[in-house]
Amino acid sequence: MHEMSIAMSIVDIACKEAQKDGAKSISVIELDVGKLAGVMVDSLMFCYESVCKGTPAENSKLLVNEVTGMGECLKCHFEFEIDSFMALCPQCESYEVKIKQGRELKLKAVTVNE
């Protein structure tokens, strides 16, 4: 549900950056989205298209790099890939896991032209 406001933030940041650069239009916006960021990529794509209308980003492409989740067990310090907040350490079976990676929600780059 919050994907609409996230899409709006993305387009807003990108348009400001493009304007600062003196560019007229945006062709690609690239994001890093962590698996645990709480964002549905399909839903974000859908919102993105409608948010772009009437902005320099109209008809631009949204590239999403999915960032895998990484956790560290606080009991045995084993590091492993996680895909949910309910992460169980495969080595010692503890749920005390610190999320080290996977919450990213970042605008990486914007490709602009004239």
- 38-67 mask for another protein (x: CB under 8 A)? xx---x--xx--x-----------------
Binding another protein (rule: CB under 8 A), the pick from 57, 70, 89, 112 is 112
Instruction: State how far the Cα of 12 lies from the Cα of 76, in Å rounded to an integer.
Output: 43
Q: By C-beta, is 30 or 79 nearer to another protein?
A: 30
Phi/psi of residue 113, nearest 5 degrees: -140, 170
Residue 86, interface with another protein (CB under 8 A)?
yes
Binding another protein (rule: CB under 8 A), the pick from 8, 41, 64, 66 is 8
Instruction: State how far the Cα of 18 lies from the Cα of 21, in Å rounded to an integer.
Output: 5
Residue 17, interface with another protein (CB under 8 A)?
yes
Please state, as a whole number, how many other Cβ atoms lie within 10 Å of the Cβ of residue 61: 13
Instruction: State how far the Cα of 65 lies from the Cα of 91, in Å rounded to an integer.
Output: 29
Strand partners, 34: 67
Phi/psi of residue 54, nearest 5 degrees: 80, 10
Binding another protein (rule: CB under 8 A), the pick from 6, 62, 67, 73 is 6
Tell me which residues touch another protein (CB under 8 A): 1-10, 12-14, 16-18, 20-23, 27-28, 31, 36, 38-39, 43, 46-47, 50, 74, 84-86, 88, 95-97, 105-114
